[in-house]
Amino acid sequence: MSANIKPFLQIEWSKSDVNDFMRTMRRAEKELNMSTSSAVAWAASLIARSLSAATKTAPKARRIVKNPNKKAATDRRRAPFGVMAYDRSGKKVFRPIYRTGEYGKLRFFDKKSVSWYERDKGGGSWNKIQSGPDIGNPNLVAPGIKTDKRRLIGRRGMAKKAWRWAATRTRNGGTANLMRVPNVARVTITGKNTANPKIRIDNNLRYAGAAFKSGGAVNEAIAKAQRKMAHEIERRVAKKLER
């Protein structure tokens, strides 16, 4: 059995982890009269669920940060604030928040008071313009840095859902289309009716690895899944003996 996140992260198990899981699956076959294929599917499902639990859910909005470009401190044409977001390669990049282009007329210079500035005609001084909720009409929100749409994380929780979906497909396989995004995850089963069935889980999200709660989350999730399987086997055996 193998689990992979590609092309952004490769999961590798230590020999001891593999051996522990193999012994536990053999117990499931022997003590619960379970087929090899069913034992492997069960183990893969538990691993996927553990990986889901080990995956963070992003906040609703991105944190406002200062422009990391050193020129932003002296070049007032540049956006002083923005957010960090993942690009298509899975790398975190700075996205400036501005109104009419990074070198445009309307500028954000203050994130705490939710306001932005407009420059006088003819290149004069910058004047602060209030933004955010209107006191007289709370439903009316003027443009402001805290309400900028670039802060919103539209598909938050997708990495977590991808693993959870995989946990339900370890018997039949398939491809996940989640939140209107195709091929988010895939479960591939080979040799189902043989003595050596294999299940491969692919999480195709570029940030799947970065979404884990810790650097050792993968090995911890696999170990947790193995312990849960062993505990459940003991529970079912004990229940049989009570009859």
Question: What are the pLDDT digits (tens) for 74-132?
Answer: 876 777 788 888 776 667 889 887 755 555 555 666 666 556 666 666 566 777 766 65
CB 62 within 8 A of CB 84: yes
CB burial class (10 A; 0-12, 13-18, 19+) of residue 148? buried
The confidence band for 240, taking pLDDT boundaries of 50, 70 and 90, is confident
Supply the pTM of this predicted model: 0.69
Give pLDDT, residue 87.
74
Element (H, E) at 92: strand 92-96
Residue 200 has pLDDT above 60, yes or no: yes
Q: Where are the domains of the chain?
A: 2-58+156-242, 65-151
CB 28 within 8 A of CB 41: no
Residue 183 has pLDDT above 80, yes or no: yes
Give pLDDT, residue 176.
92
Q: Which string of b and e fits 58-76 if b means at least 16 CB within 10 Å?
A: beebbebeebeeeebeeee
Give pLDDT, residue 155.
80
Cβ neighbours, 10 Å, residue 39: 24
Give pLDDT, residue 115.
61
CB 58 within 8 A of CB 40: no
pLDDT digits (tens, 9 = 90+) for 134-174: 455 555 444 566 777 778 877 888 989 999 999 999 999 99
Calculate the alpha carbon distances from 48 to 44, 101, 107, 197, 225 in Å. 6, 43, 46, 17, 9
pLDDT digits (tens, 9 = 90+) for 209-219: 888 888 888 88
Give pLDDT, residue 16.
67
Type of residue at 170? T
CB 13 within 8 A of CB 219: yes
d(CA 174, CA 88): 24
Element (H, E) at 43: helix 36-53
End-to-end, the C-alpha distance of the chain in Å comes to 34
The answer, yes or no, to whether the previous bond of 7 is cis (omega within 30 of 0) is yes
The confidence band for 6, taking pLDDT boundaries of 50, 70 and 90, is very low
Summarize the confidence of residues 219-231 as an average pLDDT: 92
pLDDT digits (tens, 9 = 90+) for 9-51: 445 455 666 788 889 999 999 999 999 999 999 999 999 999 9
Residue 205 has pLDDT above 90, yes or no: no
CB 5 within 8 A of CB 202: yes
Give pLDDT, residue 141.
47
d(CA 109, CA 106): 10
The confidence band for 8, taking pLDDT boundaries of 50, 70 and 90, is very low
Q: Which residue has the higher pLDDT, 64 or 35?
A: 35
Task: Give the pair of three-digit tokens for residue 96.
Answer: 């400036």
Task: Give the pair of three-digit tokens for residue 211.
Answer: 């979404």
Phi-psi region of 51 (alpha: psi -120 to 50; beta: other; left: phi over 0): alpha
Type of residue at 181? V
